[in-house]
Amino acid sequence: GNSVTQMEGPVTLSEEAFLTINCTYTATGYPSLFWYVQYPGEGLQLLLKATKADDKGSNKGFEATYRKETTSFHLEKGSVQVSDSAVYFCALSEVANQFYFGTGTSLTVIP
Amino acid sequence: NAGVTQTPKFQVLKTGQSMTLQCAQDMNHEYMSWYRQDPGMGLRLIHYSVGAGITDQGEVPNGYNVSRSTTEDFPLRLLSAAPSQTSVYFCASRTGQGVAISGYTFGSGTRLTVV
């Protein structure tokens, strides 16, 4: 079956530190992969996506590369800001309307 | 602004009461879904719809009903509320068009407490 595994949180970083949040997946075919971000008290927002192997999704300084050989889609940012504090969800979708979400990783960035 | 609108934002129910969580989208999206979010469990799919008049069960459908009489609206009904249904509920929609699967647009959520 399909599933997504994210690194456990919470993660606490100092401002301008490098961020990596690991995500690995299990899928029977060729899924699309997504990262969502949830700010306190809000719904999830699509941060970036990749639809095939070796694609790189990017947005707001965040990047993630679809690695089929390692079944991974790790989220990275070179220099985090306090405003990046949020919960980040990795997700995959292989067929219509079947989305599988990870359990979320909470990030806190301190000045 | 275009998007997914959920009401109410907060609700407290007594055990055994029923209520309907409202969800409306104005993006003409075919697909709509209801998720619940619980600590440490991520998002779990309750029910979904691929178009008006078509609904199906997700991972955790027990205790909930849905209907999709129009493209825009997808209400979630709690038949007899239980404390285990205390959660944050999210409605989401997306287009079904295109080869690449598009991401969801989420509403801002309904925080439900059952006492």
Helix (H, G, I), strand (E, B) or coil at B56: strand
Give pLDDT, residue B1. 62
Instruction: Report the mean per-residue pLDDT for chain B.
Output: 92
In the DSSP assignment, the letter for residue B39 is T
pLDDT of A41-56, one tens digit each?
Answer: 888 999 999 999 999 9
Q: In chain A, which residues have their Cβ closer than 8 Å to the Cβ of B101?
A: 32, 51, 93, 96
The angle at the Cα of B91, spanning A109 to B6, to the nearest 5 degrees, equals 90
B41 touches chain A (CB under 8 A): yes
Give pLDDT, residue A42. 86
B104 touches chain A (CB under 8 A): yes
Name the residue among A44, A51, A103 with its Cβ closest to that of B40: A103
Q: In chain B, which stretches have pLDDT less than 70?
A: 1, 97-101
B74 touches chain A (CB under 8 A): no
Q: For chain A, give percent helix, strand, coil, nearest 5.
A: 5, 55, 45
Strands A11-14 and A105-110: parallel
Strands A32-38 and A44-50: antiparallel
Say if residues A31 and A2 touch (Cβ distance below 8 Å): yes
CB-side neighbour CA atoms (13 Å) of A50: 23
Total CB pairs under 8 A between chain A and B: 48
